[in-house]
Amino acid sequence: MTYRVGPKGQVVIPKTMRDHLGILPGDEVDFALEDEAVRVEPVRARSSLRGTLAGFELTAALEADHVAERDR
């Protein structure tokens, strides 16, 4: 697909590509230079990592490790 750059430097992302990538009006996209090409990719919200290790009882394991180190 070939598109012409408009007078303000704008180019339309073809609908088939927007649909495939899930890009909707108002979404942010990231631009990167790769060799002599421009890469455009949607910016995805990063989910919080808070609570992802819940239930692993890491504090108890660290405390036990600390006691073992101290007793050596």
- Detail the DSSP E strand segments found in 1-72: 29-34, 37-42
Residue with tokens 């108002």: 26
pLDDT given for residue 53 in this prediction:
79
Mean pLDDT by 10 residues, the chain (72 residues): 92 93 92 94 81 82 91 85
Report if residue 40 sits inside a domain: yes
Report if residue 25 sits inside a domain: yes
Whole-model pTM: value is 0.55
Number of domains in the chain: 1
The token duo for 14 is: 């073809």
Q: 27-49 burial string, b = 16+ CB within 10 Å, else e? A: eeeeeeeeeeeeeeeeeeeeeee
Report if residue 8 sits inside a domain: no
pLDDT given for residue 42 in this prediction:
92
Instruction: Show Cβ contacts of residue 22 under 8 Å, excluding neighbours closer than 6 positions.
Output: 42
Report if residue 67 sits inside a domain: yes
Domain of residue 49, residue span = 15-71
